[in-house]
Chains A and B, each alone.
Chain A
Amino acid sequence: MAVLQSKQDALQARLSGLQFAPGGWLGAARSEALRRVTAMGLPGKRDEYWRYSDPTGLNATDATPVDLFDPLDEPAPFSGVDRLKIVFVDGVFDASQSDALALEGVQIEHLAEAGRADIHWASALYGVLETRGQSPVQRPLAALNSAFAAQGVLIRVTATPSKPISLIYQHKTATSDAMLHHCVKVESGAEVTILENGAAAARLSHVMEVDVADGARFHHIRAQGRAHLRQAITHLFARIGRNAAFKSFTLTANGHLTRNEAVLELLGADSVAHVAGAALGDGDFHHDDTVFITHAAERCESRQVFKKVLKNGAVGVFQGKILVKQGAQKTDGYQISQALMLDDDSQFLAKPELEIYADDVKCSHGSTSGAIDETALFYLRSRGVPLRAAQSLLVLAFLAEAIAEIEDEEISDDIRQRLQSWLARHEH
């Protein structure tokens, strides 16, 4: 089928602003990716998977400039956590603010330097999971990222490091347009926590490919900046082996447009894949969680838990799919997406999907949107809790199921504290 001319035109315009870096194994992978995106064209409003979010700003040749925002009133996320810091400013690695890339049980390489070396494990991962994720749903912006991203890290985890690896994204130029591509390989029996935080740039394209080997565990917690009108498209691709775990949680507070895609494949038996998110939107906010989880092995468990708090015209989108392949018996799939509307002006659009080809599985999905429970509010007030505090307590209660997906208590406390501060700043 010929690609729509409008999608091709959009791609040509976008390509005109990008610089291709050839050479080495990485150059070859980039060429392949360029071929993929050329065959697809850029996304359009008429694509099934872009019906609820407008890709125009992500397709545009240049990023729309965004005012810088410095949240001086609270420490940056994860500040209190002992971690290995890797800092990117407007999408470019900043050695002066970063820690030495040395941590026992981990090898870390810069993508910018990786093309020259022969990094066998990375060449088997870079663009590979992204390619797997292109079917049955096309994700051209991920292929575009694979073709042009010049910055990122390649992380190989061979044991269980003593602290999390923290990727910090600072936005310091109003017009910055960042493309980051990370690969993480968690070897058999190893366990790692990756933290990400910050707005990154006026526009961010982000891909993380994660290979979780048999018996390995991967934890991912990110906070995508606050009170900031940046645009972001992120993709998490994961391949999960036998008896392994993948757990990801994202906090999003504001942002003109955020689309977080997660494409997870459970390929070995007895594994778990959890992906969760808490989104807080006030006003000019469009937040889209698009998730695709494939069960290709027996006795795996997947959970999708997404909660959105919306006010003043904010829009929340959830597109979540569970695909259970033939033979993936005893699958346990759970999916919940809920929006709490703090006024009548906001919007929540949800498209839950189940596609099941095995006969002995347990899959459930639920989606709701509603206002604060007035009866519960009165109950709290009748016990002396002031209106604002009672509202905050109920909003936090609404978000609790998503936050409960974070295993580390110190980190979940940090996230909860941020939610509380946001609520305090955005009272009616």
Chain B
Amino acid sequence: MLEINNLHVKLEEEDKVILRGVNLSIGAGEVHAIMGPNGSGKSTLSYVLSGRDGYEVTEGSATLDGEELLEMEPEARAAAGLFLAFQYPVEIPGVGNMTFLRTAVNAQRKTRGEPEISAGDFLKLVREKAKTLKIDADMLKRPVNVGFSGGEKKRNEILQMAMLEPKMCILDETDSGLDVDAMKLVSEGVNALRGAGRSFLVITHYQRLLDHIKPDFVHIMAAGRIIKTGGPELALEVENNGYADLLAEGV
């Protein structure tokens, strides 16, 4: 599904190298987790894959089902099936949440050459998905993320994911700022979307989230590289011992 090969990235404005040769292969239906200390390049990886400005790829590639992602505009990557759940979802005053969702769904359909979803079908679908995420009608009417609590913003991200039905989902610290109940709700939302065709890359600091969203593989990232890969037990090891031993090993 997602193949990242020897990816090197630096900040465009300054001569600061962030990623130094990331290799990662995610198969269809797999859930991978990336953990690592602050500043190791986890969020940068998610931004580079989704096409945010400000980064320069100096070497390497990233493909989604064989298509080179790094040369596509962000909207084309989304239409190709990539989705990033933001660590800090953006507030957009003046744009209603519902309008936003419908514009996004229809834009992707249009890009893929599919017919637009009818207003009635859309409404039915969004109400059904919102209900399972405990998103009420008021949240759907309000401007995108404006006045939402931390938990509401994250649930809104998962709602977008559910509506857009991407095949490759990246969750960037989706657990940050969530209390135990909200984390459970968000995780249930994610788990409901797990299926044969859909893959996940879960970026997190804490093993906690991985109790709810069970990964197939856990990777440890440090200084812009993946230094160790293992099963779910690797996350427990980090939780118990911290990164010090792994970092010493990785050098």
Chain A residues with a Cβ under 8 A of chain B: 373-376, 378-387, 389-390, 393-394, 396-401
Closest to B90 in A: A379
Closest to A374 in B: B53
Is there contact, CB below 8 Å, between B84 and A382?
A: yes
A376 to B151 alpha-carbon distance, docked (Å):
19
Is there contact, CB below 8 Å, between B74 and A397?
A: no
Q: Distance in Å from the Cβ of B168 to the closest Cβ of chain A?
A: 13
A376 to B91 alpha-carbon distance, docked (Å):
7
Is there contact, CB below 8 Å, between A384 and B53?
A: no
Contacts of A401 in B (CB 8 A): 94
A393 to B103 alpha-carbon distance, docked (Å):
9
Q: Mark B63-100, 1 if CB is under 8 A from A, else 0.
A: 00000000001110111000110100111111100011
Q: Which 5 A-B pairs have the closest CB atoms?
A: A397-B94, A384-B78, A384-B108, A383-B104, A381-B74
Report whether over half of chain A's contact residues are helix, strand or loop; otherwise say mixed: helix
Q: Distance in Å from the Cβ of A367 to the closest Cβ of chain B?
A: 17
Contacts of A390 in B (CB 8 A): 75
A390 to B90 alpha-carbon distance, docked (Å):
14
Contacts of A399 in B (CB 8 A): 94
Contacts of B94 in A (CB 8 A): 394, 396-401
Closest to A396 in B: B94
Contacts of A386 in B (CB 8 A): 73, 75, 107, 111
Q: Is B228 an interface residue (CB 8 A)?
A: no
Closest to A383 in B: B104
Q: Distance in Å from the Cβ of B107 to the closest Cβ of chain A?
A: 5
Contacts of B164 in A (CB 8 A): 383-384
A54 to B77 alpha-carbon distance, docked (Å):
49
Contacts of A396 in B (CB 8 A): 94-95
A384-B111, A385-B103 given; name 8 further pairs at CB < 8 Å. A374-B53, A380-B100, A382-B51, A383-B108, A389-B103, A390-B75, A397-B93, A397-B94
A366 to B92 alpha-carbon distance, docked (Å):
19
Is there contact, CB below 8 Å, between A378 and B108?
A: no
Is there contact, CB below 8 Å, between B53 and A378?
A: yes
Q: Is B160 an interface residue (CB 8 A)?
A: yes
A399 to B99 alpha-carbon distance, docked (Å):
16
Contacts of B100 in A (CB 8 A): 380, 383, 393
Is there contact, CB below 8 Å, between B95 and A385?
A: no
**Contacting residue for A378 out of B74, B99, B104, CB 8 A:** B74
Contacts of B108 in A (CB 8 A): 383-384
Is there contact, CB below 8 Å, between A378 and B75?
A: no
Contacts of A381 in B (CB 8 A): 51, 73-75, 78
Contacts of B204 in A (CB 8 A): none
Residue from A378, A387, A394 whose CB has the most chain B CB atoms within 10 Å: A378
Q: Is B61 an interface residue (CB 8 A)?
A: no
Q: Distance in Å from the Cβ of B139 to the closest Cβ of chain A?
A: 17
Is there contact, CB below 8 Å, between A385 and B52?
A: no
Q: Mark B136-150, 1 if CB is under 8 A from A, else 0.
A: 000000010000000
A387 to B104 alpha-carbon distance, docked (Å):
12
Q: Is B50 an interface residue (CB 8 A)?
A: yes
**Contacting residue for B92 out of A384, A387, A397, CB 8 A:** A397
Closest to B166 in A: A384
Contacts of B79 in A (CB 8 A): 384
Closest to B86 in A: A379
Q: Distance in Å from the Cβ of A387 to the closest Cβ of chain B?
A: 7
Contacts of A394 in B (CB 8 A): 92, 94-95
Q: Mark B142-173, 1 if CB is under 8 A from A, else 0.
A: 01000000000000000010001000000000
23 contacts between A and B (CB under 8 A): A376-B91, A379-B86, A379-B90, A380-B92, A380-B104, A382-B75, A382-B86, A384-B75, A384-B79, A384-B107, A384-B108, A385-B75, A386-B75, A386-B107, A389-B103, A390-B75, A393-B100, A393-B103, A396-B94, A396-B95, A398-B94, A399-B94, A400-B94
Is there contact, CB below 8 Å, between B73 and A382?
A: no
Closest to A400 in B: B94
A149 to B167 alpha-carbon distance, docked (Å):
68
Q: Distance in Å from the Cβ of A54 to the closest Cβ of chain B?
A: 33
A375 to B90 alpha-carbon distance, docked (Å):
7
Contacts of A400 in B (CB 8 A): 94
Given the known interface contacts A375-B90, A384-B79, the answer about A397 and B107 at a Cβ–Cβ threshold of 8 Å is no
Given the known interface contacts A381-B73, A382-B84, the answer about A376 and B90 at a Cβ–Cβ threshold of 8 Å is yes
